[in-house]
Structures are given as C-alpha cells and as structure tokens.
Amino acid sequence: MDPASFLHASRVVIVAGKGGVGKTTVSATLARMAAREGLSTLLLEVEGKSGIAGLFGKSALAYGESVLVPAAQPGGAEVRGRTLTPDDALLEYLEDHGLKRVSKRLVATGAMDVVATAAPGIKDILLLGKVKQLERAGEAGRDAPDGTAPADLIVLDGPAAGHAISFLLSARGLLDAVRVGPVSTQARDVLELLTDPARCQVVLVTLPEETPVNELVETAFHLEDRVGVSLGPVVVNGVYPVLDALDADPGDAAAAAGTSLRAGEGESLAAAARFRRARQDLQAEQLARLAELLPLPQLHLPFLFEADLGPSHVDVLADALRGAVLAAPEGSRSPG
C-alpha cells in the first residue's frame, strides 16, 4: 500500500480501541508519520484525557492549538495539537451565533450539564461539530473561524471502544429526536462527515490478544452497521518480533559464543524462552483469527520494551507504521 494513498484516503481519521491497547500512542504515531510525509497534521484529543502531549515531551494541551513537532526536516510538516471540550465548543458556538454575552454565564452555571441531560448526545455533537468545522476549513485551505490554520489531515484520538460507538452514533440519535433547528442542522452535518469515506474513516486499534480482538471485531461491525462509517486498516499494537532460536539449549548457546553461564542462569533463560515462545504462539493465533473474522488489512506495530514512551519512541513507531503500510495489500473489504 502506498503511504501517500493511505494518508490521503480521508481528511479525518478517528482512532478508536479498547482502553489499554495503545490507542493514544497509535494516534500520535499516525500524526508523526503523516507530518514526515509532508502533510500538516492536527492531532486532537477529547477533554484532555489521552496524554498525547506527554508522548511529544510537551505540557498538557489546551483548547487553543500548540505545536507538538515543528516542521524541521525538508519536505516535512508540523504536528499541531489541541484538546476539545464540550464547554469550550459550546462557548464558541454561542459566540459565533451572536450570544457572546450570555454564553460564559450559561457554562459557568452548569447549563451544559442540564442540556446534556435533556438531550443525550449533545456533548458528543458539540465535539464532532468542531471536528467538522476544522475539516471543512482544511478542505478549503483557509483558517477556521477560531483562527486555527488549515490541516491536511486531522487525527482524532477518540474515546475507548465502548464509548466510541455511542460517540459516533450521537448524530443519528439527535436527528431522530430533534427534527428542526440548529441542533438538527449540526447533527446532519456531522453525519454527512462521518458517512463520507473521502472525509472520514475510523482506524481501530487492538492487541494480539483474545479479549481485545473480540472487542475490536464487535466494534467494527457496530460502526459499519449502525453508524455507516468507513473503516481503515486495523492497527495491531504491541506485536512481539518473532525469534527463531528459542529452542536452543542455553548452555550450548553460551559455549558456542565462547562464554559460560553461572548457576541458575540456564534455567532462567530457558524459562524466558518458554514464555516468549508461548507469547509468539498466542499472537500468531490471534492475528490469524482477526484476519478471519475481520477482512481488513492489518498494520503491525512492535512492542517497545520501555516503561514510558516519549518523542524518540514515537519516531521509531512512525518508521514501523510506514513500513507496515508499504507491506500491506492495496484496498480493503467491508467487514459486512
């Protein structure tokens, strides 16, 4: 698969997956890869909960954008980031519609929570409406109304898989509940964004383990059947590199290398080899099962043996993602 075709498949990529599978890391990796390929990239997190900034060695993101990675290399582009919150999006919406004097008072008095209770899904629509506004500005090559520079690609670090379905279903739910008025218009515009594959696609993330694979497959079918969103390749995170010499006797291997083992080291090495072999067998089984259940291309990212990830690790993963894209087959089939 050509990296340029992969990155230009849609203007908005929503990254979703079960909590703990590395969804935020994949979002940062995708944004970094896109910037290296020359696409100005806007990386969005929802309500400041994802920790994106830390992966780039920066302080917490705000509603206003900040530069996470400058465009240093020739032909590259910058990665910008910001966090989206319903309150800030509501303030901006009201101000844009001539209600600046009352907007802050409404939010300060907790009106947002009252509205959210009366109209479930309104918070999600406010967030997705902001994404839609930024996407339209990028398509037109102009600044958004809030002054945000246009981006070639928007990467949204979406909610965990359970909330991702309700998050993306909010537009359909509100259209059923509210037939006329600005809320209905906003919901309709958001639904048009979500269901247009040239504008938006969802990239699901999993680990090569049974439970995350099960949840990803279930989420994929829900998103296509109930939301009508286009699915991109599946990113399988945390894949152990395959080692071939796991059956070697530790003592013999040490002797062949011209060294020797201390007491107990042979047993420890043998136990480690058994664990690694079991892990490799498990991930091979789950990768095959995923391919059978969900006929979408798989992009594998390696497991990094690090306690905390930072900018250098994102660069390593961006290289790995580009290699995985190059190795992937062209095109994909719907899971349905």
In a domain, 260, yes or no: no
CATH of the domain at 304: 3.40.50.300
Are 240 and 279 spatial neighbours (Cβ–Cβ below 8 Å)? Answer: yes
Question: Angle at which helices 111-118 and 122-140 pack, to 10 degrees?
Answer: 100
In a domain, 323, yes or no: yes
In a domain, 256, yes or no: no
Radius of gyration of the chain measured on its C-alpha atoms: 23
In a domain, 261, yes or no: no
In a domain, 87, yes or no: yes
Please report the sign of the dihedral spanned by the C-alpha atoms of residue 302, residue 307, residue 308, residue 312: negative
Whole domain around residue 69: which residue ranges? 3-240+295-327
Are 53 and 81 spatial neighbours (Cβ–Cβ below 8 Å)? Answer: yes
Question: How many domains is the chain built from?
Answer: 1
In a domain, 94, yes or no: yes
In a domain, 332, yes or no: no
Query: 282-311 in b/e burial notation, b at 16+ Cβ within 10 A?
Result: ebeebbeebeebbebbbbbbeeeeeeebeb
pLDDT at residue 335, rounded to an integer: 44
10-residue block means of pLDDT along the chain (336 residues)?
93 93 96 95 84 92 92 82 86 70 66 57 85 93 86 92 81 71 83 94 96 94 88 96 85 88 90 91 96 96 93 97 91 46
Are 160 and 17 spatial neighbours (Cβ–Cβ below 8 Å)? Answer: yes
Q: Pairing relation of β-strands 66-69 and 79-84?
A: antiparallel
In a domain, 148, yes or no: yes
Measuring CA to CA, which residue among 50, 51, 47, 54 is closest to residue 84?
47
